[in-house]
Structure 1
Amino acid sequence: MALPKKLKYFNMFFDGDNYFGMVPEITPAKLTKKIEDYQAGGMPGSVAVDLGFDAGALDMDITLGGLDAGLLKKWGVTTADGMQTRFAGSYQDDATGDAVPCEIQTRGRFTELDLGSAKVGDDTSHKYTLKNTYYKLTINGEEIIEVDVLNMIYKVAGVDVLEKHRANIGL
């Protein structure tokens, strides 16, 4: 019998700084492609043409358990890839006990900062939204997906999807 591997533990790093115990939740990027239907004369139906990624496809939300001046100072990052994040998760199959690492690395900058409400005795979670230009998903040491918008790189399972396109335009 097999069970899916479930997230048991995770940690977050911002520019290499360890935020163990400070991040209760993240919403990883929801990778979405920009697709346009194309139908020309003689075609009995349309074909979905892949035009890259949607705006916001690499966006990520992170919830911090409370106030952190160091992270708030990163609001001033001025370059599109000026801040690096790393999610390090441990997923376990409860049928076998097997646990594997899962890592998501991103580069980007904050575009939204929500300090929530301030009420004595209540949770004071703060939510950050990142607009990323780089995303890499690695599971058990294997690179699954890598997207680097600024360098025109898009890899899936080690296959460089854009290699021929870069060569065609002299990159």
Structure 2
Amino acid sequence: MGLPYSLYRFNTFINGDSFLGETEEVELPKLSRKFEEFQSGGMGGPVKLDFGNEAMEASIKFGGLVRRALSHYAAPTVDGVQLRWVGAYKSGTSAIPQSLEVTMRGRFQEIEFGTQKAGEKSEQKMKFPISYYKVVIDGQTVIEIDQLAGITIVDGVDTDAAFRAIIGL
């Protein structure tokens, strides 16, 4: 019997700069595939065809005003900012922690300062659409998606390699 690993501690880095103690929350991207329903003559019912990855987005919430994070707003390219999140997970049935590292490249789309009220905690939230995404668990790459290069790798299998070969990439 085992118990799930729960997040114990984490850190966030923007272009290599640590935001330890300043990051309150990170919402990692939802992975989703674009499916379209298709049915033609003779089929008993529709199937959903896979047209690749949907757009990905992350967000980060700081516990108050964090000036250093603001300087990354308005990056000129779709992969101009690197956001890296590292989490340490523990389980009640294992003394060995697990690591989860998520590396993303994109640029900040929104900065939201929210309600500001004297004597109360404030926050700063930033929305981050991404073009590159990589998940590493305990040193092993599990998922890597590079939207610009047309790469999707899952557990070491490059699911888009044949398509890139056909179009000469």
TM range (shorter): over 0.9
Q: Does 1:49 align with 2:49?
A: yes
Give the letter for the 2:99 counterpart: P
Aligned with 2:114 (options 113, 116, 122): 116
Dislocated runs of 4+, deviation >3 Å:
none
Q: Deviations over 1:23-68 (max 9, x none)?
A: 011110011111001111000011111111223xx20011011112
Residue equivalent to 1:162: 160
Alignment coverage as a number of residue pairs: 169
Q: Is the 8 A contact 2:106 2:131 kept in 1?
A: yes
% identical equivalent positions: 38
Residue equivalent to 2:150: 152
Residues in 2 aligned to 1:14 and 1:159: alpha-carbon distance in whole angstroms: 29
Give the letter for the 1:154 counterpart: T
Q: Secondary structure at the match of 1:144?
A: strand
Residue equivalent to 1:32: 32
Q: Which has the higher helix share?
A: 1
Unaligned segments of structure 1, at least 5 residues? none
Residue equivalent to 1:21: 21
1:76 Cα offset (Å): 2.2
Superposed CA RMSD: 0.8
Residues in 1 aligned to 2:45 and 2:95: alpha-carbon distance in whole angstroms: 48
TM-score by length of 1: 0.96
Q: Secondary structure at the match of 1:164?
A: helix
Q: Is the 8 A contact 2:104 2:130 kept in 1?
A: yes
Residues in 2 aligned to 1:79 and 1:28: alpha-carbon distance in whole angstroms: 21
Residues 91-106 of structure 1 correspond to what in structure 2 (within 5 A)?
Answer: 91-106=89-104
TM-score by length of 2: 0.97
Unaligned segments of structure 2, at least 5 residues? none
